[in-house]
Amino acid sequence: MNREELIKEINRLKIEKNAIILAHNYQIGEVQDIADFVGDSLQLAKEAIKVKQDLIIFCGVHFMAESAKILNPTKKVILPVKEAGCPMADMASAEEIREFKKKNPELKVVTYVNSSAEVKAESYVCCTSANAVDVVKKIGAKEVLFVPDKNLGSFVDEQIEDVKIMKWEGFCPTHERVTLEDVEIIREKHPAVKILVHPECRPEVFHAVDFVGSTSQIIEFVKNSEDKKFIIGTEKGIIHSLKKENPDKEFIILTEKLICENMKKTRLEDVYRALKNEEFEISLDEKTASKANEALERMLK
Ligand code: 13P
Ligand code: SF4
């Protein structure tokens, strides 16, 4: 099948199977273009709850499809590429969190959605990069264990004074690759252009830039800005959404290292196969799903 036929088949199968395609901002351009909804992890979680269709084809990484299943359990949720995971989510296990809680019963576990359902199930509340500061502020805890991203944990810590925040030692390998030197080099080349980065970057990186936010907050910043040029410090896929929404603006990637191999695994052919064969289905143990749902629901409240 050529590209045109493939797109036609995907759209035909979508109607035949009563399916919806959700995609993260980091997906490749043609996958974003075929999706019914493109967003950041918070927007995608909210959208998943509203889905009326029988089948959700989730173009992203495993934890995102898992969150959709937890939030809308009667739907069949499909992750087109089984191996599309998030290395940061694998940096914390439920067993480790249980051990930590036993030793520190007074603290509340706040877990970034980039985590497994089992880890969410051990948590008091979840958060995304778009709402982490608000979530920690609102739960009214004196002491928090922030899991698994140490960088997002530091970003939250710097904005909240009266909560003691312990940080798990996890990180996103993609954003961790960005160095202060990368920022200095690009600043020298384009001194008048604002640099926008994701809070998964190292603290020395987010201290040196003009704006720090989740993917949707970066998109919003660009939309509302009078500037015509921006330096983008998050996964390269976001540039597709930015260009589409702002055809009159120009985007420079902070460094070509900003590619998440897992987000790039899903091709149009995989979306087609996922719809046709309804593979790979996300299934969860009921008890884990229900406990993880409590932490996700608490975040959404
Ligand atoms: P957002 O919450 O901004 O969508 O980011 C998710 C992610 O995986 C960042 O690396
Ligand atoms: Fe995980 Fe980083 Fe990829 Fe996001 S960009 S999915 S945090 S590895």
Q: How far is the CA of 20 from the centre of ligand 2 (A)?
A: 23
Is-same-fold flag (3-85+263-283; 174-253)? yes
- Buried b / exposed e along 60-74 (16+ C-beta atoms within 10 A): bbbbbbbbbbbbbee
Q: For residue 249, what pLDDT is reported?
A: 98
Ligand 1 mean position, distance from CA 5 (Å):
32
Count how many residues are written for the chain. Answer: 301
Q: Determine the pLDDT at residue 89.
A: 98
CB 53 within 8 A of CB 89: no
Write down the pLDDT at residue 55.
Answer: 98
How far is it, in rounded angstroms, from Cα 87 to Cα 177? Answer: 14
What six digits make up the tokens of 258? 């900003």
Question: For position 193, what pLDDT does the model report?
Answer: 98
Can you give the pLDDT at residue 173? 98
Domains in the chain: boundaries:
3-85+263-283, 89-172+289-300, 174-253
Mutate which of 42, 111, 263, 264 to test ligand 2's pocket (most atoms within 8 Å of Cβ)? 263
Ligand 1 centroid to residue 40 C-alpha, Å: 6
In angstroms, the CA 274 to CA 62 distance is: 14
Query: Could you read off the pLDDT of 195-241 as tens digits, one per residue?
Result: 999 999 999 999 999 999 999 999 999 999 999 999 999 999 999 99
Q: Which atom of ligand 1 is nearest to the CA of 263?
A: 8
Quote the CA–CA distance of 269 and 110 in Å, as a whole number.
37
Determine the distance separating the centroid of ligand 1 and the alpha carbon of 41, expressed in angstroms. 6
> What gap in Å lies between CA 236 and CA 218, rounded to an integer?
13
- 89-172+289-300 fold: Rossmann fold (3.40.50)
pLDDT at 223: 98
* Phi and psi at residue 25, to the nearest 5°: -60, -15
**Residue 162's closest CA among 140, 134, 130?**
140
Angle, in degrees to the nearest 10, between helices 286-300 and 62-71: 90
Q: How far is CA 283 from CA 66, 121, 279, in A?
A: 8, 15, 11
What pLDDT is stored for residue 13 in this prediction? 98
For ligand 1, the distance from its centroid to the CA atom of residue 235, given in whole angstroms, is 9
Exposure on the CB side of residue 119, measured as CA atoms within 13 A: 27
What are the residues facing 108 on neighbouring strands?
144
Assess whether the previous peptide bond of 251 is cis (omega < 30° from 0).
no
Give pLDDT, residue 6: 98
Taking the CA of residue 86 as reference, the ligand 2 atom at the shortest distance is 1
Which DSSP category does 133 fall into? H
Find where tokens 């920690």 sit: 136
β-bridge partners, 55: 19, 76
Q: Which atom of ligand 1 is nearest to the CA of 216?
A: 3
Amino acid, res. 142? K
Show pLDDT as tens, one digit a residue, over the chain (301 residues): 999 999 999 999 999 999 999 999 999 999 999 999 999 998 999 999 999 999 999 999 999 999 999 999 999 999 999 999 999 999 999 999 999 999 999 999 999 999 999 999 999 999 999 999 999 999 999 999 999 999 999 999 999 999 999 999 999 999 999 999 999 999 999 999 999 999 999 999 999 999 999 999 999 999 999 999 999 999 999 999 999 999 999 999 999 999 999 999 999 999 999 999 999 999 999 999 999 999 999 999 9
Query: What pLDDT does residue 197 have?
Result: 98
Cis peptide before 148 (omega within 30 of 0): yes
Residue nearest to atom 5 of ligand 2 (CA): 260
Residues 6 or more apart whose CB falls under 8 angstroms from that of 82 comprise 279, 280
Q: Which two tokens stand for residue 24?
A: 């993260």
Query: What is the CATH number assigned to the segment(s) 174-253?
Result: 3.40.50.10800
Task: Please provide the CATH number assigned to the domain covering 3-85+263-283.
Answer: 3.40.50.10800
Q: In this structure, what token pair is assigned to residue 32?
A: 């974003």
41 Cβ inside 6 Å of ligand 2: no
Distance, CA of 301 to CA of 215 (rounded, Å) = 21
User: Does the Cβ of 114 fall within 6 Å of ligand 2?
Assistant: yes
Q: Is the CB of 212 under 6 A from ligand 2?
A: no
pTM of the model: 0.96
